[in-house]
Amino acid sequence: MKAKILTRSAVAAAVAVALSAGYVAGHNNVPAPQVISPATAAAMMPAEAAAKTGVPDFSGLVETYGPAVVNISAKHVVKETSARSSRNQLPMDPDDPFYQFFKRFGGIPGFGGPGGPGGPGADRPSEGLGSGFIVSSDGYILTNAHVVDNANVVTVKLTDKREYRAKVIGADKQSDVAVLKIDAKSLPTVKIGDPNGSKVGQWVVAIGSPYGFDNTVTSGIISAKSRALPNENYTPFIQTDVPVNPGNSGGPLFNLQGEVIGINSMIYSQTGGFQGLSFAIPINEAIKVKDALIKTGHVDRGRLGVTVQGMNQTLANSFGMKSPQGALVSSIEPGGPAAKAGLQPGDVITALNGVAVTDSTSLPSQVAGLSPGTSAKVTVWRDKSAKDLSVTIGALKDAKTASAKASAGGDDEASAQDARLGVAVRPLTPEEKQNDSLSRGLLVQQAGGAAANAGIQPGDVILAVNGQPVTSVQQLKSMVQRAGDSIALLIQRDDAQIFVPVDLG
């Protein structure tokens, strides 16, 4: 049977060659196909191989830069009854739609169990496995902060089986970047690329240690760029469909030129394994963190002191904007940098130091990249025109939790219904103002029609319409009557202020 299969294959190949030769002979302007030996293809970078053959060959990349990818073992002592990191702990209910949502995938539980030696509550070792890559020949290594979080002993293993005890130079949890150092010289290193030059749809390659399998190579494409994730405000992630799994965390993401453009950090998974959504920290962001950690041991980030939300076309129409670009300021931290500079709720931040703010997800990383104490030009859209404000950037580490409350006048008018908006409202009582630290606002008692369709609920407090503070029921009625087909309501709900676009039809 084997001989028949080989023969049949040979015949098929001969027919294919004959057809190709006939086509070229009849079409002199068509170049003959190039024949590239496996050895030649392996020596190429994937981009060159793809240009010549039409299919990327990653073997040259892996052979050249694979030795710079390392396996990381992080051991620490934990209480058996203590909860593991939420990045490695499965939620109790697997039917929850957010089950394993953006689960960190650096750790693999190592030792111990409720019935193990020592019994519940005893100290017992635990081990996590992750990946990393060498960025300097004298032993500096980049990985994820969560890979080495709380570790007592960190061990780095190279592809040639050499092992080193690593020192954690620094770990920045906000960016999830950590820097390790091993005592070695003349080590293989990766080549750093520019993720800004990458495009959605381009091939990328990951090398790491999924489930402890050293130097596993997987490939895919860039699915999206500058992706904002829940509770990860300062990193514009690269989204890929590269298969990554627990243990890949901290490993490099290569482009077709063999350059590292990201650090694999997260996956979206409902099972704990790969499901087509993986996220990498752009390497340019990671290098900034690395340099700061090596130099000072910590990372300073800028702070503006605002809460922002995304724009949509209805909100844009309400503020007289042609397109829903920018970050809408929903609240201002009292006494913060933005408040001192004169920013107001209802301002739409459209640029920072001349660089466009495309949406609310891009602003935090742009601000965080500024040095505290420096002056920045913030361009806002206010009253249907652009305005430039000068802001002295604060330090993120000094930020204090503040419930952003508005401050204006109020009145004591009776409850009233606005038919066009579909709400029944009344002024706040003195006691409500005191309890909620509000100086103005109208309490929503009932919501229907356009307001209910927009998500307005009883208990919400309407603070402003299209950025203009509301101080009375009559003022609200007048604003709604003069409005066009849509308005933007600034409301207080629980401890947060948000803009809600309302389509009035």
DSSP string of 34-103, one letter each residue: P---HHHHHHS-HHHHHHHHSS---HHHHHHHGGGEEEEEEEEEEETTSPPPTTTPPPS-TTSTTTTTTE
Q: Nearest CA to 224 among 190, 174, 262?
A: 262
Is residue 248 part of an annotated ligand binding site?
A: yes
Q: How far is CA 191 from CA 133, 140, 183, 200, 485, in A?
A: 10, 14, 21, 21, 54
Contact call for residues 165 and 151 (beta carbons, < 8 A) = no
Q: Nearest CA to 486 among 454, 452, 446?
A: 454
- The terminus-to-terminus CA distance of the chain in angstroms comes to 74
Contact call for residues 16 and 8 (beta carbons, < 8 A) = no
Is residue 146 part of an annotated ligand binding site?
A: yes
Q: What pairs with residue 154 in β-bridges?
A: 74, 166
SS (H, E, C) 413-466: CCCEEECCCCEEEEECCHHHHHHHCCCCCEEEEEECHHHHHHCCCCCCEEEEEC
φ/ψ of residue 240, rounded to 5: -135, 170
Q: How far is CA 502 from CA 20, 235, 316, 495, in A?
A: 63, 31, 11, 21
Q: What pairs with residue 203 in β-bridges?
A: 221
CA distance 484 to 317: 9
Is residue 57 part of an annotated ligand binding site?
A: no
Place of tokens 């130097």: 215
CA distance 329 to 346: 6
196-203 long-range contacts, CB within 8 A, separation 24+: 196/284, 198/222, 198/225, 198/238, 198/255, 198/261, 200/224, 200/225, 202/255, 202/256, 203/46, 203/50, 203/56, 203/255, 203/256
Q: Is 370 strand, coil or helix?
A: coil
Catalytic residue positions? 146, 176, 249
Residue 478 neighbours by CB distance under 10 Å: 12
Contact call for residues 343 and 329 (beta carbons, < 8 A) = yes
Is residue 150 part of an annotated ligand binding site?
A: no
Binding site as annotated, residues: 146, 176, 247-249
Binding site as annotated, residues for substrate: 146, 176, 247-249
